[in-house]
Amino acid sequence: VKWTEGRGWHDAELVPYAPLALDPANMTLHYAQAIFEGLKAYRQPDGSVATFRPEANAERFQASARRLAMPELRAELFVAACDALVNQDKAWVPSEGEQSLYLRPFMFATEVGLGVRPANAYLFIVIASPAGAYFPGGVKPVSVWLSEEYVRAAPGGTGAAKCAGNYAASLVAQAQAAEHGCDQVVWLDAIERRWIEEMGGMNLYFVYGGRDGAKARIVTPELSGSLLPGITRRSLLTIAEDLGYEVSEGRISVDDWKNGNADGTLTEVFACGTAAVITPVGSVKSTRADWTVGDGEPGAVTMELRKALLDIQTGAAPDTHGWMHKLA
């Protein structure tokens, strides 16, 4: 779908996957007006296909567009574009458990020119690719590197938007994590450098207590303005409450993580996002200290929440919150 100043959105079309021809002075290549989304379509037990909360992705896409001075795409158009592609590619939606069709809606400037200002023309595209189970061999905890040197996002910046530049800025820290033998980066706040924000492509959850039959307490970092408001994060706030947990949004410092872990009150930490659904965090490394989270194994609460969410997505459990968007 194209957008042109004065005309709005026009010329929606479904075309075979193919390379795009770009002018060397395409404004996106220079000034990075580029935003995207990620969501999945799952095969349902009756053979039909459904996407998970596409309206929530549409809403976040609109917020990202506003932050990058790009035109907003109405939620109905966003969802209709995803639906059209899924309908076309229905045969590619896998039917095995956690497998899915991953959808990548994105928008970028198409105007040609070197002046720094919002472009006057844009393109919105959705592409898709089948995605296997994230953990084909069983759920495995990830190791994380606390990035004390680099900042992903700062107050007033673009951290809450899903824009390309945020990911470009995070790659060097991801490489540093790999150099330290870690799978993922954990970002801290930009000002005090002590509050846990999120992971490279996932939000975080902290589980306290829950041993000896007691019900665990669950906390996720509050939306500080510099972390991405994940749709999985938002869904888990509801699911955890449904399952009877005391769940809240709050601030968690690096010291809380380390100390709560040492005295055993912090029992589990997990990350959540569209790609991996829920991933246990097994160990932490930083320039100051390394530690194991709980016993380093996937925790009971983590696995319970993971199953509850996947059951809704795959249609094994009833969709009590109206999150599944069924296609004809």
Note the helical H segments in the chain: 27-31, 54-67, 75-88, 164-179, 231-242, 254-262, 300-313
198 binds ligand PMP (CB under 6 A): yes
Q: Is 105 in the site for ligand PMP (CB under 6 A)?
A: no
Structure tokens belonging to residue 239: 């699911």
Number of residues near ligand PMP (by CB under 6 A): 12
* Residue 54 binding ligand PMP, by CB under 6 A: no
Helix 75-88 to helix 54-67 angle (10° resolution) is: 130
Per CB under 6 A, 189 contacts ligand PMP:
no
Query: 3-class DSSP state for residue 103?
Result: strand
Minimum gap (Å) between residue 37 Cβ and ligand PMP:
8
Pick the binder of ligand PMP from 41, 126, 231, 324 (CB under 6 A). 231
Q: Which amino acid would we find at residue 31? A: Y
CB-count burial class (<10 Å; 0-12, 13-18, 19+) for 250:
exposed
Q: Which tokens belong to 64?
A: 């990202």
Residue of 33, 274, 286, 313 that binds ligand PMP (CB under 6 A): 274
**Binds ligand PMP by CB under 6 A, chosen from 81, 146, 218, 228:** 228
203 lines the binding site for ligand PMP (CB under 6 A) = yes
Could you give the CA distance from residue 73 to residue 54 in angstroms, rounded to a whole number? 13
Query: Nearest to ligand PMP by Cβ — which residue?
Result: 230
Give the count of alpha carbons within 13 A of 223, CB side only: 10
CB neighbourhood size of 131 (10 A): 18
Q: How far is the CB of 187 from ligand PMP (least distance, A)?
A: 8
CA atoms within 13 A on the CB side of 230: 27
Rounded to whole angstroms, the Cα distance separating 322 from 238 reads 12
Q: How far is the CB of 109 from ligand PMP (least distance, A)?
A: 21
Binding range to ligand PMP, per CB under 6 A, among 22-30, 86-94, 102-110, 224-232: 224-232
Per CB under 6 A, contacts with ligand PMP among 134-173 are none
Which CB sits closer to ligand PMP, 98 or 198? 198
Lay out the site mask for ligand PMP across 27-46 (x = CB under 6 A, - = otherwise): -----------x--------
Instruction: Using CB under 6 A, list all residues that contact ligand PMP.
Output: 38, 198, 201-203, 228, 230-233, 273-274
